[in-house]
Copies of this chain bind each other. A is one copy, B any other.
Amino acid sequence: MNRPEYIQERDGALWLTEVESDHLKLNWRLKDVLHVERSPFQEIVIVDTETFGRALVLDGVVQTTAGDEFIYNEMISHIPLALHPNPKRVLVIGGGDGGVVRECLKYPSVERVDLVEIDERVTRACKMYLPELAGKLDDPRVRTRFEDGVQYVKGVRNQYDVIIVDSSDPIGPAAVLFEEPFYRLVKEALRPGGIMVCQSESPFFYLPVLQNTRRLLNELFPVTRTYWAPVPTYPGALWTFTLGCLFDPFEDSGWICRIREKSTRYVTAELAVGSFVLPAFVRGALGVAE
C-alpha cells in the first residue's frame, strides 16, 4: 500500500496534511492508515485520526469523520424530510459514504431511497471501514446505483419527493453539481410538492458559491431557504445548506414535530427552527430578511 504524499511520518507519528486552501492547512495525527486506493475518479483513503476517529479522505480532503459526521448528515437529511409532509421516495446524489441514507431511513414514510454515487469504490471502502455510516445501505428500501448524478437525473421525471445533493467541494468532479443545468434537472425529477437540498459551503471560505446557489435556486423554485450548522472538520465551521421547494413547506409549522423522536445527536425540533436564522453577515450577503 503506497502511502499518499500528504501522509508523512514525523516525530515517530503519522500525520495527514489537509490543504484547506493555499493559505491554511490542517495536520491530523493518525493512529493508522487503513486503506489507500486510486479509483477512476479520485484517490480514496481511510485513516483513523486521533481527534475524530476514522475519516474518509478523497484526494487529500477530509470528507467525513466518525466523530462529527452526525452534524452534517442529520442537518442535510432531517430538515427536508421533516419539511415534506409525506416523503416516500428519496434520491441522494453523492453521499456514497451512506451517512445521509442512514438518516433518511429514520422516516417511516420513506419507502425507497435511491443513492446515486459516481464512485463505487468510495461506497465499498466505507462499507468496510465506516460501517456506522454505510451500514444501512443493505436495507431493502435502499437501491444504490454507481453512475454520474447528472446523467442519472437526466433520465428521471416526476419521481422523487425529496432530493438531497450531498456533494463534495465545487472543484473537480463535483463542480457540475453546483450549476444551473443540474438544478433544473433536479427540479424536473421532483414530484409535485417536492423539496431539494444541497450543501452550499461556508460563507467564510466560499461565499460566492453560497450566493450563486441561492440565486440559481431562487430562479427555479417558488420557495428557497438557506439554513446552517457548525461543522468542526470543515474550514470556516459555519456550514450552509440551501433548499429549493416546489411549495411553501413553512406555512405549516407542524413540520418541526416530525423531527422529534428520531434518535439524533445534533438536531432537535427547536434546533431545526433555529438553523434557519442566519447570522447578520450571511443575511446581508444573500440580501434576504431571514
* Cβ of A1 under 8 Å from chain B: no
Q: A26-B26, A70-B281, A71-B279 are in contact. List 15 more A-B contacts (CB 8 A).
A: A23-B29, A24-B28, A24-B51, A25-B27, A67-B204, A68-B204, A232-B237, A232-B238, A266-B280, A268-B280, A271-B277, A271-B280, A274-B274, A274-B275, A274-B277
User: In the complex, which residues 160-188 of chain A have their Cβ closer than 8 Å to any Cβ of chain B?
Assistant: none
Q: Contact between B23 and A24 (Cβ–Cβ < 8 Å)?
A: no
CB distance from A79 to the nearest CB of B (A): 14
Please, what's the 1-or-0 string for A38-57, where 1 marks a CB less than 8 Å from any CB in chain B? Answer: 00000000000111000000
User: In the complex, which residues 251-279 of chain A have their Cβ closer than 8 Å to any Cβ of chain B?
Assistant: 264-268, 270-271, 273-275, 277-279
* Distance between Cα atoms of A77 and B25 in the complex (Å): 31
Question: Which of the residues B51, B266, B273, B280 comes within 8 Å of A279, measured between beta carbons?
Answer: B266
Name A residues whose Cβ lies closer than 8 Å to a Cβ of B. Answer: 15, 17, 21-29, 49-51, 67-68, 70-71, 202, 204, 228, 230-232, 235-238, 264-268, 270-271, 273-275, 277-281, 283
Q: Contact between B268 and A277 (Cβ–Cβ < 8 Å)?
A: yes
- Name A74's closest neighbour in chain B (CB-CB): B280
As for how many copies of this chain the complex holds, the number is 2
Supply 29 A–B pairs (Cβ within 8 Å), ascending by A: A15-B25, A21-B51, A22-B29, A22-B50, A23-B28, A23-B29, A23-B49, A23-B50, A24-B26, A26-B27, A27-B27, A67-B204, A70-B281, A71-B279, A228-B230, A230-B230, A232-B237, A265-B280, A266-B279, A266-B280, A267-B279, A268-B279, A268-B280, A271-B277, A271-B279, A273-B274, A274-B274, A274-B275, A274-B277
* Distance between Cα atoms of A43 and B67 in the complex (Å): 33
Residues in B whose Cβ lies below 8 Å from that of A17:
27
Closest 4 CB pairs of A and B: A274-B274, A237-B237, A23-B50, A230-B230
* Distance between Cα atoms of A211 and B252 in the complex (Å): 37
* Distance between Cα atoms of A235 and B52 in the complex (Å): 12
Q: Contact between B22 and A24 (Cβ–Cβ < 8 Å)?
A: no
* Distance between Cα atoms of A20 and B170 in the complex (Å): 28
* Distance between Cα atoms of A277 and B231 in the complex (Å): 16
CB distance from A241 to the nearest CB of B (A): 14
Q: Contact between B270 and A277 (Cβ–Cβ < 8 Å)?
A: yes
Residues in B whose Cβ lies below 8 Å from that of A237:
230-232, 237-238
* Distance between Cα atoms of A266 and B277 in the complex (Å): 11
Residues in B whose Cβ lies below 8 Å from that of A274:
271, 273-275, 277
* Distance between Cα atoms of A15 and B230 in the complex (Å): 26
- Name A17's closest neighbour in chain B (CB-CB): B27
Q: Contact between A24 and B27 (Cβ–Cβ < 8 Å)?
A: yes
Residues in B whose Cβ lies below 8 Å from that of A202:
232
Q: Which of A228, A237, A270, A283 has the most CB of B within 10 A?
A: A237
